[in-house]
Structure formats: structure tokens, C-alpha cells
Structure 1
Amino acid sequence: MSNTNWQKSSYCASNDECVEVRTANGLVELRESDTDGIIVRTTPTKFATFL
């Protein structure tokens, strides 16, 4: 799986403080838009369980 663009939730506030998600190299990555240097990585299975 190749890297994809970050996607924001449709529930995101207009001030850009939201959670973003993307896939990268077979993993799911999450970050907060206002602290984009911290990225949490997990497997698609664990992410689906989390949701």
C-alpha cells in the first residue's frame, strides 16, 4: 500500500483542530492537525476494532 493524503473527519471544526488519518505502507496513521509531527501508527485490523 502506498502513502495516501491525510483525510480529515467530516465532523472537523472549522479551525483545523481535528484528527487526520491516512494509509502508509500497509499501516493506518493518525495525527492531530495542530500537532502534525506526532503520528500514531497501527494495523488496519486494530484500527477497525478501535472504530
Structure 2
Amino acid sequence: MSSPTWQKSSYSGSSNACVEVRVTEGGIELRESDEGEMVLRTTRPEFAAFLRGAKAGEFDHLTTTP
């Protein structure tokens, strides 16, 4: 059985500094591409709630510098 494939956003372009995500039997895993040994695990419902918030702009303020 092969391991699940990591996926990054097409908005990352050719950059290696991005967040990657994959689906596993236990849920969803996230990691930074340049820090691959550090993995965050969450459930599908929790990840879905995060995505809804991101799509609604709830985290947009985190992408700008003060």
C-alpha cells in the first residue's frame, strides 16, 4: 500500500515554501514543505470548518504585515 500523496495549492506556483495537505485513514494531515517532519493532524470536519472560515475571509488579516 502506497502512502497518501502530499498536495499543495496551485497558488503556490513553483515555490517550495508552502503548506501541503493529504488525506489519510485517520483524517487530514498538514505540513510545511520545508519542514516536512512536522505534521499537524486533524479530522475532516475540523478541516472543513477551517476551509469555510478561510473562504469567508476570516483569516485574511493574518496575511498582511502590520
* Interval containing the TM-score (normalised by the shorter chain): 0.7 to 0.9
> How many pairs does the alignment contain?
50
Name the one with the larger strand percent.
1
Q: Write out the 4+ residue segments of structure 1 that deviate beyond 6 Å after TM superposition.
A: none
Largest Rg, 1 or 2:
2
Gaps spanning 5+ residues in structure 1: where? none
More helix by share: 2
Between the two structures, name the one with larger relative contact order (CA 8 Å, sep ≥ 6). Answer: 1
Q: State the identity as a percent.
A: 54
User: TM-score with structure 1 length normalisation?
Assistant: 0.85
